Structure 1
């Protein structure tokens, strides 16, 4: 379970079902349905204060449904987007639209504008924290031998120290839809020495094909840089920049340029040049698919040249990635393998082991939470020894399992239980509210029910003898129920009030939205009706979304004499 996920949206009101009209109902049909319900629910037709209050609630609901469906433009929005479309600011401007596609296009445009306004009202912080840990004293025994020879006092515990830290934080300030200002700062400490810098950049977006950026930085002397991006064609794009760094001793220029080519839908090739005090030329091929990512790269330059190949296997089912990297060059060589796991909606946890010459053995742990990244490189050994490789591989895995099983899973289960209880409580409250609304509708139908029943009996028309709705259990023939569970409600009065000219029509929609009905169970529901027509008994059972037209000859019961 992911307790970061959003809660489900409640079911929207179905205005068509409440008025009992078809999706393609004409304006006259909607007017007729509105007048019929108004005669039942208008507050002026009820004298008792209790009934008048019930009538106000149901009449307002009737009026709201009529106002939407009788207005062609609002009806088109409702048909395309539902109630959420009617609640969107600015949709009153789409009076000119005629098709669902045009309405959806306007809705999406307005949603983008809303998102843009929200973006302009807040910053977008990004943070990177790296803590380098030197734990080589755990496995490098030669230090102990050296201390014995020099007669040094040594602690019984290995010396594990923080050898360096890097903190980087940036904050974006959207100025307009095409201009963004970014402020960032970096602080580095290593072996007791520190440095840092702050920078301010301004990016202008010309279109989705091009942007430029100017950045001013201050730290070990001021620096000025220019960057840009440009789509050259359908398959080629370029980005690059120039930098001038003024130090106490000299001016250090820098130049970078990358051109990329889209080979196919999943593959991109890059060619990069970086110039300055040290120059290099690199090329890479990246193939990224739904199930894997392959990156092959080669670099030639100073101080090092190398070739590299990395492969990432994406485990879609459990949201996990397996990674392996092989790298060799003038610096030496290394093999890195690791795994990344999504632990919540906004958080990823990754661990990898790097084994190389002359770097030794390193364990890298990284936690990503939204736009914040926390990295912990741990240097275990300066040599390729079996022990640090084994412990770097096994200990993180065992630790993760212990923490997950001992702390995370119980916490998640507890949160899941709380959310389930909250949902059950909300569902109970909604059920009680719908039940009260259904009972209020039935109370207000009493007079109309008696009048319609007398009219139908006088002309030997359609008489609803009994109707139940809910978890109706049948013998498989879609009629003649042999058992009724407790999860049903009686809807005889509401259905009789829908009879007109000895006919009853229910349209293809959930019946729980009809006046006097409510959803007593989340299971599949059915409607069972026993009725008389021309003094002949009939019976029918239909599914919740099924169309119903009665009377029908096929519903007549055979009377055995």
Structure 2
């Protein structure tokens, strides 16, 4: 991995302790405050002057970016990499921030397209059809003899069929992409296979066209096309001509879609092949759920279906349910999909219907690979296969998650943290050294700040620790924490301390003592002579003193005045 990708991202807003919507006046004031600490002319010692120059240049760089509308627009959208992109120097300074952002995005898109030209993006799918109906067979065994034929003691589970498919894509130009796919399937001892080659061309920003040639059970030729008709309407058309021993057959599918509102799309589809149908669908997809209604009128079957999917953001999962009824019969399907790792997910669903019976489907998705296992449990709708088909995967998942998945993910997390730390070890040491130098340069400012706050009986930070997420006020965590009392006190202005909603590791005088782990900030402080303490998570905002501290301080102030007045009146009477 090159140095550009290894470089840790700098947060100029956090370094200046500013919100991302800070006006120019606040940016200038923050720059001036840090300049009083880091400006080389403020120090007479040659070593300190040299150390201060490094931090002053960092402060100056942050100010130059945030005070320039053009640079700030790019930085807000794309970070420091946007300021260092190859070809960025050709952008005219007279352009607006929006035009500059569009120029960068164009350069980034071209770079991404060049990278995609070198990729094949392979995708594969494996499906194994399993017949396990003997597990829940309602029929008596035909052999009454205690010593029946061998092999009948355990019910048989048979693999009825398998299907393998693989596809790759090869970008030829920015508008042309070639696809190569193959499929091999077996069912009850007989097999078949096919190979397809296709070429897709982006004809315009609103559409594409694709031609496909297939070899397998005869020769096939198909043409597909997509086109945006308006901003809220598009169409998709495909036709296929197949040559077999029985002659030529033609199939045609056409879909017209219209966006009804922000989250709802309606579809009208006509299909004419071995079976003809006309279907109407309405799909509503939001951040929390997805629902779909279908009505299909066709030959030989017509049906109506309703499906609902609830998105579990907290658990990275989805709950699904479908009801379907028509001339073929009726069925109910329910299931759960759960994210196992960053690139893997597991889905389990149960289908109960007439005349299909009870079926269990287990699907594992890992990257671009799909492993699917449809299991036929019973030909009839019986309570036993429904119960065991529902409960067994849940119990098995809990056991596997506790014994295999969670330990594996924990080990992977530890390895990722160690790898990340090793990759950025030199930069971490540099930032730690930078923080130590910064605190050393802050000592004089810290002393003056504390004197000013003591004179006004204001806000004084008595102790502050930043590091691993634990009870920092009562645990000694060694290198996993760092004392940030001095830099935090230097951020106090007019008896107030405000920290933004972002990681604190890039504040002046801070560094990350435990990269990759959860961190928190513990603060002990006194306000109007009354001690307080607070602990926040790393990315939480902080504002002290709190409103309750102000009320408490007013109470003690009024109480002190009352006691003083009463004491003075009592002495006057004496």
Q: TM-score, normalised by structure 1?
A: 0.71
Question: Retained in 1: the 8 A contact 2:41–2:49?
Answer: no
Question: Retained in 1: the 8 A contact 2:312–2:318?
Answer: yes
In structure 1, the residue matched to 2:213 is: 216
1:426–1:224 Cα change, 3 Å: closer
In structure 1, the residue matched to 2:11 is: 12
- Shift in Å, 1:319: 2.9
Instruction: For residues 455-501 of structure 1, give each alpha carbon's deviation from its aligned partner in whole angstroms, at most 9, with x where no partner exists.
Output: xxxxxxxx9693589xx9x99x873648446824668xxx9xxxxxx
- Identify the range of structure 1 (266-275 vs 359-368) with the bigger mean alpha-carbon deviation: 266-275
Aligned mate of 2:317, from 316, 320, 324: 320
Aligned mate of 2:228, from 227, 231, 248: 231
Whether 2:136 is the aligned partner of 1:142: answer no
Aligned mate of 1:479, from 458, 461, 465: 458
Give the secondary structure class of the aligned counterpart of 2:275: coil
Question: Retained in 2: the 8 A contact 1:69–1:75?
Answer: no
Whether 2:287 is the aligned partner of 1:290: answer yes
The number of aligned residues is: 483
Question: Retained in 2: the 8 A contact 1:68–1:74?
Answer: no
Q: Distance in 1 between matches of 2:122 and 2:135?
A: 37
The equivalences for 1:23-422 within 5 A come to 37=39, 76-78=70-72, 80-81=74-75, 82-142=79-139, 144-145=141-142, 152-418=149-415
In structure 1, the residue matched to 2:569 is: none
Q: Distance in 1 between matches of 2:427 and 2:543?
A: 22
Give the secondary structure class of the aligned counterpart of 2:294: strand
Give the secondary structure class of the aligned counterpart of 1:144: coil
- Shift in Å, 1:41: 9.6
Q: Distance in 2 between matches of 1:99 and 1:343?
A: 45
In structure 2, the residue matched to 1:466 is: 447
Q: Distance in 2 between matches of 1:56 and 1:338?
A: 65
Q: Distance in 2 between matches of 1:478 and 1:432?
A: 38
- Shift in Å, 1:514: 9.3
Q: Distance in 1 between matches of 2:512 and 2:269?
A: 65
Question: Retained in 1: the 8 A contact 2:197–2:213?
Answer: yes
- Identify the range of structure 1 (402-411 vs 142-151) with the bigger mean alpha-carbon deviation: 142-151
Q: Distance in 2 between matches of 1:240 and 1:83?
A: 44
Instruction: For residues 1-52 of structure 1, give each alpha carbon's deviation from its aligned partner in whole angstroms, at most 9, with x where no partner exists.
Output: xxxxx9996543579969xx976659xx99xx79x9566899xx96xxxx5x
Q: Distance in 2 between matches of 1:225 and 1:465?
A: 76
Question: Retained in 2: the 8 A contact 1:266–1:288?
Answer: yes
- Shift in Å, 1:362: 0.6
Task: List alignment gaps of at least 5 residues for structure 2.
Answer: 18-23, 466-482, 491-496, 514-519, 527-540, 545-574
Q: Distance in 2 between matches of 1:38 and 1:269?
A: 66
- Shift in Å, 1:337: 1.5
Instruction: For residues 340-387 of structure 1, give each alpha carbon's deviation from its aligned partner in whole angstroms, at most 9, with x where no partner exists.
Output: 222233322111111122211110111122332211100111121221
Question: Retained in 1: the 8 A contact 2:238–2:253?
Answer: yes
The equivalences for 1:522-537 within 5 A come to 523=521
1:39–1:361 Cα change, 3 Å: same
Q: Distance in 2 between matches of 1:544 and 1:396?
A: 45
1:194–1:435 Cα change, 3 Å: closer
Cα RMSD, aligned residues only: 4.8
- Shift in Å, 1:427: 9.5
Give the secondary structure class of the aligned counterpart of 1:412: helix
- Shift in Å, 1:413: 3.2
Q: Distance in 1 between matches of 2:525 and 2:319?
A: 52
Instruction: For residues 383-405 of structure 1, give each alpha carbon's deviation from its aligned partner in whole angstroms, at most 9, with x where no partner exists.
Output: 21221111101101111111112
Instruction: For residues 78-113 of structure 1, give each alpha carbon's deviation from its aligned partner in whole angstroms, at most 9, with x where no partner exists.
Output: 564052322222221222344433333333333322
Larger radius of gyration: 1
1:478–1:280 Cα change, 3 Å: farther
Q: Distance in 2 between matches of 1:69 and 1:213?
A: 51
In structure 2, the residue matched to 1:535 is: none
1:508–1:95 Cα change, 3 Å: farther
Q: Distance in 2 between matches of 1:520 and 1:478?
A: 32
